[in-house]
Structure 1
Amino acid sequence: MIYVKIVNPNHQIFMIIQIIMLFNLSHIQNLNLISVSQRQILLFVTIVNQAASLQYVKNVLMVNFV
């Protein structure tokens, strides 16, 4: 399980990419977004989809934008 809590929204993209590169896994199994705005969801899903096509992400189970 990868739990990502992003405190500073300005750095959300950088931090997500960091997590993706850190785990360097094959594909997404489950994506659960909690407490996020539509804009944040779109940003996140766009990045995750791109990462998935590059086969960097396996599990992103919980993402909490604060």
Structure 2
Amino acid sequence: MTAESLFAECIIPGCKQPVTDELTPCQTCRTIFGPMLHEADRPPSYTAADLAERDAGTAAA
């Protein structure tokens, strides 16, 4: 049985760290990937559901 989390998960595929904003990377990923991460000035064109669908194959593996 799984319970719903109070927090969203990191936007980086495969990372399950909790974050307060569902479309941001966690602090661990920020540290690991550092300058490879770039913020865009435009609003995202995807939703949390889109990201879950995208990551389903990775999670299944």
Confirm or deny a common fold (TM above 0.5).
Answer: no
- CA radius of gyration, larger in: 2
Higher relative contact order structure (alpha carbons within 8 Å, sequence separation ≥ 6): 1
Which structure shows the bigger proportion of residues in helix conformation? 1
TM-score normalised according to structure 1 size: 0.28
